[in-house]
Amino acid sequence: MAAVLDALAPYVQKLITDMAREEVSMLLGVSGEITKLEDNMESIKAFLTDAERRRITDESVQRWGRKLKDAMYDATDILDCCQIEADKRRESKGALKKKVRSCFQPFIFCLSNPMFAHEIGSRIKELNQRLEDIYKEADKFKFNIGLGSNPEPRKLSDAGLKMLSEFNESAIVGENIEKETKELAHVLINDDKLKIKVVSVVGAGGMGKTTLAQKIFKEKTIQEQFKMKIWLSITQYFEEADLLRTAIEHAGGDHGGKQDKSLLMRTLTDILSKDKFLLVMDDVWSMKAWNNVLKVPILNASHKQIGSRVLVTTRLEDLAPRMQASYYQHHVRPLNEEDAWSLLNRQLPPQPNQVVGIDHLKDVGMKIIKKCGGLPLAIKVMGGLLSMRSQSELEWEAVLNHHAWSVAGLPKELDNRLYLSYEDLCPPLKQCFLYCSLFPKGTYIRKRDIIPMWISEGFIQPRHGSSSQEDQLEDIAKEYYRDLIMRNLIEPTEDSTMNGYHCTMHDVVRSFAEFMAREELLVVQDEQAPGGSSHSLLRRLSIGSTKSVPEWSLLEMQKSVRTLIISHKIDIKPSDSLCSLSSLRVLLIRDNADCDRLVDSLCQWKHLRYLHLENTDISRLPQEIYRIKYLQHIVLRGSINLESLPRSIIDLVHLRTLDLDNLNIENILIPKGFGRLTNLSQLFGFPVHNDMDKDGAWCSLEEIGPLSQLRHLTVYGLVAKKSWDHGMRSRSNSSNE
């Protein structure tokens, strides 16, 4: 269910409304079909909240919802095509362009293309028939009509946000963590004559194993004892060469881009042999990472560095005994009542003018804690939910007695506590939360990236009665991002703040989100292949590495994909193409050396809004990039082979983000006319050259001056230039958010 029914329907309705009804009558006899489409959506919308809840346990409702979502996705593509065609007419009809200025009146222009009008009319008519059949079928489910969705999240005060960020780390697993940290640090340091020793931290998911390991990793005596410390997050599906390269990097070494496993193992052995080391293997699911990758380098290096240690976090009781080394096993226990209450209490924001605490809520709070089974993650999630409520007994009782605690027939993958937190989200926030699970374990959910991705997918809609300006959508998306942090559904990393740019998702939360989104969102790792549910069309796909795509043709078959994320290296042959992904809105490719081969595919994606090519070998963007009419965000961060931007980039009038951070600024040339991009709000890494092109064909700093919508700006290579004073006096601040 990656699409939340009662979030997708309003998006479709808004697209219809934006088409300006007074122009529909001119669409060659299909004005009635457009009106009917709007009416059909309004009728179906009435019972979507109940359908969304019931489809969790009712397979027949799931099937019905799947058909409805497919129809609504088709509607968004049809309406998008109308808008694209309308813009083409604007460009060729100057007179009409003056008369009809609104970008939300496309149908009038279809008159000049009767074939398009006939085709679009037929598609809308067929779509209406599908929706009418779906509406009739809904009658047998007896849905509860008018059941309201959860409201938008309330806004917290800046003071509340500040205080929450201050105690975030200390509020994780209770007071006993200090005692356990010192005990296990002593175990790691003791028996120094042992060549190698494994300390295993064992416990269920959400018990606080990783948090305890992090505290140990930073403990003062550990810092003093081990000159080399390496932290490895072991994903359930990992690539051996990637794991070795990461270990080498974290040990301060240089792998030189090697791909050969034996050479990488030798390099890691040499580096580990230089100093006494502590290596942390976090969240180990099997013996593969140890037996196939790390065992030989660690054991060999430990002969030279006596007293080196391995710290493992795992759910497996028998893992440490099988590692063929001296070991110590520590079981993480559930929190006692007082620590659990303290942890819950610390998740709550301070109330304005608060004099007394929340002791009056302790009785009901302890009943909620009891349902959490002493699991720190569950308590944090419940605390995050309660932080969105007023600190009243009535509100807390409502959480205690929520129907989600007793839903019968929940699949084993769905934790009641996480399900309750999920149910408390408003529909668009549910959609944003599920989308976060596309980012594989070990990768950051960057605020700077996720917000435009949400907007590009259509998840963020203007609030009732407000305009749809992009700035307002970005502000709403930032509130959603912050809300997910407050609810402990995503977690800021150590170098982030509440308004910062790096978050992660706990494995237990990720598994929950992936299950909820399983029908049309798929994250594939090394031992999987893209396929998704056999009953549904895959809409969002995240691929881990080469082994994830045994045949490129499997990827080309996913024609309904709207978001594609490719992380790490995937072998791309010269003949490979992604032209068939005609519904694509979001493309993110990261850390890939064959990306340049896909450049010519880009212009085929007429729906594309977000293009992100980070740390790739791309040397150019296509000259015909102007054909991607609605491209709003271009991120080329770290793609150091890029030499220049195509001159036609200045025709992307909807462009809001251009990210050129960490490029070779000596190579990058920006075309003249850059000042035409008047919607640009984020410009990162703008290169300033001392020796500008003499023919005046390239952009100078003066052209940034008229960009009045800029909210975030970073400039590279600035050395006391006249042009800065001329055009940028009022816009010299920058932001790395």
Q: State the angle between helix axes of 362-371 and 337-346 in degrees (0 to 180), rounded to the nearest 10.
A: 110
Confidence label for 188 from pLDDT (cuts 50, 70 and 90): very high
* pLDDT at position 496: 58
Confidence label for 376 from pLDDT (cuts 50, 70 and 90): very high
pLDDT, mean over the chain: 83
At 54, is the secondary structure helix, strand, or coil?
A: helix
pLDDT for residue 95 is more than 50: no
Confidence label for 120 from pLDDT (cuts 50, 70 and 90): confident
Amino acid at 676: R
Confidence label for 573 from pLDDT (cuts 50, 70 and 90): confident
Domains and CATH numbers, the chain: 5-141 (no CATH), 161-170+339-504 (no CATH), 175-331 (3.40.50.300), 520-727 (3.80.10.10)
pLDDT for residue 687 is more than 80: yes
What is 344-376 written as a DSSP string?
Answer: HHHTSPPPTT--S-SGGGHHHHHHHHHHTTT-H
107, burial (CB in 10 Å: exposed 0-12, middle 13-18, buried 19+): buried
Mode of pairing for the β-strands spanning 682-687 and 633-635: unpaired
Confidence label for 70 from pLDDT (cuts 50, 70 and 90): very high
d(CA 149, CA 153): 12
Which is higher by pLDDT, 141 or 112? 141
pLDDT for residue 544 is more than 80: no
Quick one: tokens of 519? 């029908």
Most confident of 87-96, 110-119, 166-175: 110-119
Q: What is the average per-residue pLDDT within 317-322?
A: 92
* pLDDT at position 634: 97
Quick one: tokens of 436? 């976060």
Express as a percent the part of the chain with pLDDT over 70: 80
C-alpha 377, offset from chain centre? 20
pLDDT for residue 287 is more than 90: yes
145, burial (CB in 10 Å: exposed 0-12, middle 13-18, buried 19+): exposed
Which is higher by pLDDT, 519 or 651? 651
Q: Which residues pair with 687 in a beta bridge?
A: 716
Name the CA radius of gyration of the chain, rounded. 28
Which is higher by pLDDT, 170 or 391? 391
CB count in 10 Å sphere of residue 729: 9
pLDDT for residue 81 is more than 80: yes
d(CA 523, CA 437): 8
Neighbouring residues of 463: CB distance < 8 A, sequence distance ≥ 6? 152, 476
* pLDDT at position 230: 96
Min mean pLDDT across 78-87, 234-243, 626-635 is at 78-87
* pLDDT at position 30: 57
d(CA 707, CA 650): 13
Instruction: Describe the strand order of the beta sheet including 682-687 as a list of residue ranges.
Output: 521-524, 540-543, 563-567, 586-592, 610-616, 633-635, 657-659, 682-687, 712-716
Answer for the pair 529, 510: CB distance below 8 angstroms, yes or no.
no
C-alpha 323, offset from chain centre? 35
Q: Name the residue with tokens 């839903």.
A: 407
Which is higher by pLDDT, 493 or 207? 207
Confidence label for 443 from pLDDT (cuts 50, 70 and 90): confident
- Cα dist from 34 to 10, 31, 44, 136, 684, whole Å: 16, 5, 16, 19, 42
Quick one: tokens of 144? 């509860």
Mode of pairing for the β-strands spanning 610-616 and 228-233: unpaired
Q: Could you read off the pLDDT of 348-359 as tens digits, one per residue?
A: 887 665 556 788
Residue in 710, 645, 633 with CA at minimum distance from that of residue 673? 645
Express as a percent the part of the chain with pLDDT over 90: 48
Q: What is the average per-residue pLDDT within 77-96?
A: 71
* pLDDT at position 3: 67
* Torsion angle defined by CA atoms of residues 654, 437, 286 and 225, in that order, rounded to the nearest 10 degrees: 80
Which is higher by pLDDT, 359 or 24? 359
Instruction: Describe the strand order of the beta sheet including 326-331 as a list of residue ranges.
Output: 228-233, 277-284, 308-314, 196-202, 326-331
Answer for the pair 460, 428: CB distance below 8 angstroms, yes or no.
yes
* pLDDT at position 352: 62
Helix, strand, coil % in the chain, rounded to nearest 5: 45, 10, 40
